[in-house]
Amino acid sequence: METGLYIHIPFCKSKCHYCDFCSVANADSELIARYTNELCRRMHEWKSRCRQRKFDTVYLGGGTPTLLNADQSATVLDTARECFDILPDAEITVECNPATASEYSLAAWHALGVNRLSIGVQSAVDSELRLLGRIHKFADAEETVRAARAVGIDNINIDLMIGIPDQTVESLEYTLSRYIELDCSHVSAYCLSVEEGTRFYKSRDKLNIADADAVADMYSLVAKRLSESGYEHYEISNFAKDGCRSRHNTHTWQCREYLGLGVAAYSYFDGERFGNSRDIEAFLRGENIVCESYRPDKDERMSEYVMLGLRLRGGIDTREFYENFGVEFDAAYGQRCRPFVVSGHLKIENGRVFLTKQGWLVSNAVLSEIL
């Protein structure tokens, strides 16, 4: 089974007001250069442990990987190819912000083998983008999509945020119509979550954020409009045109292994789950930054398999479940599933178990009862 490779680039032009990802705003070019050098050194450390593996996805996330200059991006991807057996048809994704990628720089990424772009658009309403602390306007996103297509990157994801302060059904309708016009191959739609340590968290009492019912209605609207426009709603938060599902994220939902490099990156590798700390200085000093590491036992692996598998439209294949764990799905979870089958939140059909559309709306509640 192929492995996924994740590379974290923790630099951004400025910090968005809701962001709790590991990223340094306005980092100087020397820090970025030191980081990429250390990243490459660590790739060489992993080389021998990965000799038997084939990698079918590479994902450069962040942060804003498109802040790397041409030399740095070439060094990172060339080193990845030198250290890991990356398949010729691998999906290679780079995350980007609309205001950080020109046609020229996207051409350079494409020449390095990047064949998928994930753009943090969030909304088509400029006042919402300003409120989120985004540094771009929607027109910049449109320009980035145009530029990506011009250089030959057709597989493009755009992020869409639900529950932005002051967002209304009308403004979301407007965003959806502009997104549908853009006609990208993939849309990731996710709900704003106000996390501790962010600027939004400090002013959370003053923010006009929709309640859970209104957010659920907005989510249903997104699902309806995108599905009507030719997108397959293949995962709770993700929509894809035919053949354009995210292979990298599907690795995670199918509990397949991946290696995460860089600060704040997570891995599931050789049966072990581990996460790196956010400490960039320790990373640059060459220290071991693994801060969470454990080997999930069989019960935990079964729970993860169910929790992640039920995020997918296709759900879980009960025969595969038995092959993986030597236990019938029904024996392990059947009893706890039955009330949700009766209530219409869950279906068990033709050897598959999956959440219905109604079930997706309350997936956290359903999963917490089942697991």
Interface residue list for ligand SF4 (CB under 6 A): 12, 15-16, 19, 21, 23, 62-64, 97, 120
What are the C-alpha distances in Å from 283 to residues 13, 153, 233? Answer: 21, 32, 38
Give strand ranges (E) for 27-182: 54-62, 85-96, 116-122, 155-162
The SS3 assignment for 55 reads strand
- Nearest approach, Cβ of 11 to ligand SF4 (angstroms)? 8
Q: How far is the CB of 120 from ligand SF4 (least distance, A)?
A: 5
Strands 258-261 and 3-9: parallel
Which residue's CB is nearer to ligand SF4, number 197 or number 243?
A: 197
Residues contacting 13, CB < 8 A, separation 6+: 25, 26, 64, 67, 97, 99, 100, 135
Query: Is the Cβ of residue 23 or residue 238 nearer to ligand SF4 in the bound state?
Result: 23
Tell the smallest beta-carbon distance from residue 233 to ligand SF4 (Å).
24
* Minimum CB distance to ligand SF4, residue 215 (Å): 19
Helix (H) or strand (E) holding 273: strand 272-276
Burial class (CB in 10 A: 0-12, 13-18, 19+), 24: middle
Comparing CB distances to ligand SF4, the nearer of 96 and 312 is 96
Separation of alpha carbons 270 and 258, rounded Å: 9
Distance of alpha carbon 297 from alpha carbon 295, whole angstroms:
6
Between 98 and 315, name the residue whose CB sits nearer to ligand SF4.
Answer: 98
Work out how close the CB of 197 gets to ligand SF4 at its nearest, in angstroms, rounded to a whole number: 12
Choice between 161 and 312, CB closer to ligand SF4: 161
Is the backbone peptide bond immediately before 63 cis, with ω within 30 degrees of 0? yes
Bridge partners of residue 54, in order along the sequence: 85
CB of 327 to ligand SF4, least distance (A): 40
Q: Which is nearer to ligand SF4, 120 or 262 (CB)?
A: 120
Q: How far is the CB of 153 from ligand SF4 (least distance, A)?
A: 19
Closer CB to ligand SF4, 10 or 359, in the complex: 10
